[in-house]
């Protein structure tokens, strides 16, 4: 099993993006906002909760007396650690990031489009260039080829990037049928945790509403869901301390958990989320076991 420990993308790291941040005007001191007016501050969209709203900074309004947070701007939605708030465009999406740190893995979560391409430049030199298709439709016979509905890859992983401290990453998502979208773009360092044992489980936590009225009629309201997984690992005893430190540092941190190297076959074991708990069963000087309960993001 591996985990992609992410870095937080900041303004200074995002060198360019084809996505504009112009859904609304930037919040300005001295401007009077009516109830329902919207403005942008700190890469988020805010809606005025009252009328005659002047000189009240939405970021500083912790009590939400003046402003309500609507969500991230389209440009920054892919970096907000929420899958359901996606960055979208009718054409290709391209972002260039200079992380200023070693990055050896990139994950694209909940992508919509044709292909995803990741390039790494060290100065003017291109040191990495890989393209993957977002189409993960399983084709085993001619019936599948002609009649199976297209299935998009839940996650695309690029896990073999070379380590350059001053490199710049270019991520390009090509549009298909006039749309490109990306729920989350995650980049960082990849850590090996141990070998995933048989018996791993994968499922979802469904937040849909399923009730019945007084007459027994079903009331179904489809809502978001989150992946979940329980996995058990075997660790080399020499890795015990390192794995414990890695997991401890990732508490309350969304990361990409990769349960098996063959993500095409074991895709449900790839979860973008956080661990609810982990425990290490120390068996002796040769090996130990680790149990992980992982909860995905919606």
Taking 3-state DSSP, the helix, strand and coil percentages for the chain, each rounded to the nearest 5, stand at: 10, 50, 45
Q: Say whether 268 sits in a helix, a strand or coil.
A: helix
Radius of gyration over alpha carbons of the chain, in Å? 22
Burial of 126 from C-beta contacts in 10 A (0-12 / 13-18 / 19+): exposed
Task: Report domain 195-296's class.
Answer: mainly beta
In CATH, which of 3.40.50, 3.40.390, 1.10.3120, 2.60.120 is domain 81-191? 2.60.120
Domain-by-domain residue ranges, the chain? 32-72, 81-191, 195-296
Specify the DSSP class assigned to residue 230: E
Q: If you average pLDDT over every residue of the chain, what do you get? A: 91
The pLDDT of residue 177 is 85
Q: Are 156 and 116 in contact (CB under 8 A)?
A: yes
Sequence-separated (6 or more) residues with CB below 8 Å from residue 217: none
The pLDDT of residue 144 is 58
The pLDDT of residue 66 is 96
The pLDDT of residue 142 is 61
The model's pLDDT over 206-254, given as tens digits with 9 standing for 90+, comes to 999 888 888 888 889 998 889 999 999 999 988 999 999 999 999 999 9
The model's pLDDT over 241-292, given as tens digits with 9 standing for 90+, comes to 999 999 999 999 999 999 988 887 888 899 999 999 999 998 888 999 999 9
């Amino acid at each position: 099993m591996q985990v992609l420990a992410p870095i937080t993308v900041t303004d200074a790291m995002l060198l360019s993006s084809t996505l504009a941040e112009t859904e609304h005007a930037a919040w300005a001191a001295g401007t009077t906002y009516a109830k329902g007016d919207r403005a942008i501050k700190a890469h988020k969209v805010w809606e005025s909760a009252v009328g005659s709203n002047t000189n009240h900074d939405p970021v500083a309004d912790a009590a939400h007396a003046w402003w309500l947070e609507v969500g991230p701007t389209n440009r920054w939605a892919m970096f907000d650690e929420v899958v359901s708030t996606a960055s979208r465009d009718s054409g290709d999406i391209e972002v260039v990031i200079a992380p200023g740190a070693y990055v050896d893995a990139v994950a694209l979560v909940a992508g919509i489009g044709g292909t995803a391409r990741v390039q790494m430049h060290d100065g003017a030199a291109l040191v990495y260039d890989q393209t993957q298709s977002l189409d993960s439709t399983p084709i085993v016979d001619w019936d599948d080829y002609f009649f199976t509905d297209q299935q998009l890859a839940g996650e695309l992983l690029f896990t073999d990037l070379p380590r350059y401290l001053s490199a710049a990453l270019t991520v390009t998502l090509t549009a298909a049928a006039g749309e490109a979208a990306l729920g989350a773009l995650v980049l960082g360092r990849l850590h090996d945790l141990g070998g995933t044992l048989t018996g791993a489980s994968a499922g979802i936590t469904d937040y849909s509403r399923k009730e019945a009225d007084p007459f027994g009629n079903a009331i179904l309201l489809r809502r978001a869901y989150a992946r979940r997984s329980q996995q058990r690992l075997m660790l080399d005893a020499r890795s015990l301390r390192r794995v414990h430190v890695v997991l401890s540092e990732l508490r309350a941190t969304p990361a990409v958990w990769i349960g098996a190297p063959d993500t095409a076959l074991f895709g449900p074991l790839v979860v973008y989320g956080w661990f609810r708990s982990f425990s290490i069963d120390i068996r002796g000087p040769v090996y130990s076991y680790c149990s992980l309960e992982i909860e995905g993001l919606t």
